[in-house]
Amino acid sequence: MQQTPEKKAELKKSCVNCGAELLYAPGTTQLKCEYCGHSQEIPENEMGFEELELNSYLDSIGHNSHSESILMLQCKSCGANQHIEENYKSLHCVYCNSPLIIEDAQKEEWILPGAVLPFQIDQGKAHRIFQQWVKKLWWAPNKLKKASLDPQNTKGLYSPYWTFDAQLFATYTGQRGDYYYVSVPYTTVVNGKNVTKMRQERRTRWTPASGSISGFVDDTLIKASKQRSGVIPRKVARWDLSKLVPFDSSYLAGFVTEKYTISLKDGHLDATKEAERIADRWARRDIGGDTQRISSINMKLSEETFKHILLPVYISAYRYNGKRYNFFVNGQSGVLSGQRPYSFWKIFFFVVTIIAILAAIIYFMNK
């Protein structure tokens, strides 16, 4: 592994005209000044993606060429570890909306991201998607409807993921099952008489099978955030990874960036489990037939590389009756998902009204 000089991500970029901080404009490849409108193109990275060799990182995490220190703020209430631009308007945790104290910020080492998926929809649009959804909710508390009016509650977050590539080779032994059908007699009662009839039953013929499989496992995506209460729902956590661009800190300007809390080592364990499932699928396909049994599989991964990547999501955090609710909007596609609170009183009065109407109807019908 060759040592390159430590890369410094300049996380703050100033406007040449007025000195204000430039922010990344979603859906573009530009930084924009909110004050004077000046825009600046983010230079294209000609080096392309850099896949990092896995083994050298597993040995010595934190002390290698692709790491740097970054200012991190840990949320005391939910534990999320986030990097926030100094000028960020409200210094609140993206997940739980608890206030963060800038003095608590600490320098931490992190493995530099290899790629980033820039936000495609801006905060205003994400907020409108959230508002429209809230408007359609039945029996939602008024407090939730009110919270949805404040755009400060919707924040853009770059969520950390690991991706792994590897060459997979495996040998397996097992059995191939082929279906065949036999006619089997059975007795049944027709018009009070016992009658013997025939029916078709499926059987499986098993033959031993063994062999080897190999192939390239590309871009196994593993989440790198330990967040338990603010897990991004499956529906939202789907991004088109072909739109990844080589990492440039310019894309982070104006957004919150979360630092991975699942280590590369643990992420790699998850990726290996995923590779085992892939090997199982490939072995079954290789065996063929109608069904398969696998008795042993011996998998080897080689030429393993990984990337630390950042994926865009908008989060809205809201408290109701002491419980926390999160709403998520995919920062690339705009897909929304969220848990919702029900207003006890709205449902209560609805039920009371229905009972009163029914009672009135019964009363007048009896008259």
H/E stretch holding 170 reads strand 154-190
**C-alpha span between 49 and 74 (Å, rounded):** 30
**C-alpha span between 231 and 246 (Å, rounded):** 26
In the bound complex, what is the minimum distance in angstroms from residue 101's beta carbon to Zn ion? 12
Residue closest to 219 by CA, chosen among 28, 94, 62, 49: 49
* 239 residue type, one letter: W
Backbone angles phi, psi at 79, to 5 degrees: 85, 0
In the bound complex, what is the minimum distance in angstroms from residue 155's beta carbon to Zn ion? 11
**C-alpha span between 152 and 171 (Å, rounded):** 55
Q: Which is nearer to Zn ion, 18 or 269 (CB)?
A: 18
Q: Which is nearer to Zn ion, 15 or 147 (CB)?
A: 15
In the bound complex, what is the minimum distance in angstroms from residue 288's beta carbon to Zn ion? 51
**C-alpha span between 207 and 131 (Å, rounded):** 60
Whether residue 312 contacts residue 328, with contact meaning beta carbons closer than 8 Å, is answered with no
Q: Which is nearer to Zn ion, 35 or 348 (CB)?
A: 35
In the bound complex, what is the minimum distance in angstroms from residue 233's beta carbon to Zn ion? 18
Q: Which is nearer to Zn ion, 17 or 69 (CB)?
A: 17
Can you list the pairs that 267-273 forms with residues at least 24 positions away whose Cβ atoms lie under 8 Å? Answer: 267/162, 267/164, 267/222, 267/224, 267/306, 268/54, 268/58, 268/162, 268/164, 268/304, 268/306, 270/222, 271/162, 271/164, 271/166, 271/220, 271/222, 271/306, 272/301
Q: Which is nearer to Zn ion, 175 or 227 (CB)?
A: 227
In the bound complex, what is the minimum distance in angstroms from residue 62's beta carbon to Zn ion? 24
In the bound complex, what is the minimum distance in angstroms from residue 40's beta carbon to Zn ion? 10
In the bound complex, what is the minimum distance in angstroms from residue 242's beta carbon to Zn ion? 32
Tell me the C-alpha to C-alpha distance, in Å, between residue 219 and each of 54, 167, 283, 307, 349.
14, 12, 20, 9, 52
Q: Which is nearer to Zn ion, 18 or 351 (CB)?
A: 18
Q: Which is nearer to Zn ion, 108 or 286 (CB)?
A: 108
Its sign, for the CA torsion 121, 99, 62, 232, is negative
In the bound complex, what is the minimum distance in angstroms from residue 330's beta carbon to Zn ion? 21
Residues of this chain that interact with Zn ion (CB under 5 A) are: 15, 17-18, 20, 33, 35-36, 38, 75, 77-78, 80, 93, 95-96, 98
In the bound complex, what is the minimum distance in angstroms from residue 23's beta carbon to Zn ion? 11
> What tokens were used for 329?
């909007």
**C-alpha span between 173 and 283 (Å, rounded):** 9
Q: Which is nearer to Zn ion, 39 or 142 (CB)?
A: 39
Tell me the C-alpha to C-alpha distance, in Å, between residue 60 and each of 4, 34, 173, 262, 365.
16, 42, 37, 16, 83
> What's the gap between Cα 34 and its chain centre?
30
**Measured distance between the N- and C-terminal CA atoms of the chain, rounded to whole angstroms:** 93
Q: Which is nearer to Zn ion, 35 or 179 (CB)?
A: 35
